[in-house]
Amino acid sequence: MEKAIHKNSSLLKNKNISSRKAIELTVYIVVGVILSLLFLFPIFYMIATSTKSESAYASSAGTLAMFLPDLTNFGEAVKNYGNVFSNYGIWRYAVNSFTYAVIAIVLNVLVNGLAGYVMAKLNFPGKRFLSFMIIFLIVVPVETSIIPLYSIVKIMLGLKNTASVIGVVLPASISIFNIFLFTQFFESIPQGYEEAARIDGANTLVVFFKIILPLSKPIVATVAVFCFIGVWNDYLWPTMILPRAQEGQWPLYPIQSALTTIQSIQGITTGEIMSALIVTSIPIFIIYVLAQKYIVQGFGTAGLKM
């Protein structure tokens, strides 16, 4: 009799726990969907507006139709995107941003990766002080270094005209936060790999490039994605140091500068502006989706010793 009572009480307890978990899961899903829709509404608006003419956009303003694409006039969407590429030459600025980003990513991995390896695996005088400075500089706003950096690039290095491109790439190649990420990730790699390589006669650089770096794909992908997003979205710094293109010359400005230029063109429609915004957003979306798995792994491993 006592066993039956105990069994029934256990079943009731399990049912209560299951009901509570079901309620919590339902609340979690509902709240998640609502928040997702709030964040996605601007994207829906941007996509919908890029398919409309100026008159269709004006008639849908202030109604739910502003979030719905104009499927009855597909030619208007083709026209908007075609004008962005042909009339406003946004593809040139996209090529610039891709070039700057690729160079910055390669230098980022090499420079910050080597710095992170030194901080994680080598012992030297002043290491604790450098570790403190890295943590300290992470919280310092980037804006505080723009004026000194401008003085170095323009006055000390004398980078002008086309050479100003170097001033875009070099600052983007060094990141205190990326050094911190590399350091944390490299500390999680077992020391046995290095010891085995050094027994075979490998020096420090060989160990880094042949052993450590191939084992660090997650953090390399994470740094590459963040570096690409940073360079792709950068507007203020390139605009400060790059010269304006003369008539008939290839522009050196990145794609974010092109957006500002396009929006100020007389006669441009809202649909064309939104088309330009979508064109600039697609590469970031694609790269993040492709590297999402590595980003999660990279942060998961780098966070073990934070």
* Mean pLDDT, residues 98-127 taken together: 88
Tokens standing for residue 4: 């039956």
For the cut 50, the answer to whether the pLDDT of residue 304 exceeds it is no
pLDDT in tens, 186-219: 888 888 888 888 888 878 888 888 888 888 888 8
pLDDT in tens, 76-101: 888 888 888 888 778 888 898 999 99
For the cut 80, the answer to whether the pLDDT of residue 181 exceeds it is yes
- Cα angle 107-111-114, degrees, rounded to a multiple of 5: 140
Indicate the domain borders of the chain.
2-83, 89-305
> Length of the chain in residues, anyone?
306
For tokens 């046995």, the residue is 192
Other CB atoms within a 10 A radius of the CB of residue 157 amount to 14
pLDDT for res 26:
85
pLDDT for res 256:
87
For the cut 80, the answer to whether the pLDDT of residue 14 exceeds it is no
Class of domain 89-305: mainly alpha
Please answer whether residues 162 and 253 qualify as being in contact, where contact means their C-beta atoms are separated by less than 8 angstroms. Answer: no
Q: What percent of the chain has pLDDT over 70?
A: 87
* Mean pLDDT, residues 28-41 taken together: 85
For residues 207 and 187, what is the distance between their CA atoms, to the nearest angstrom?
14
For the cut 70, the answer to whether the pLDDT of residue 9 exceeds it is no
pLDDT for res 302:
53
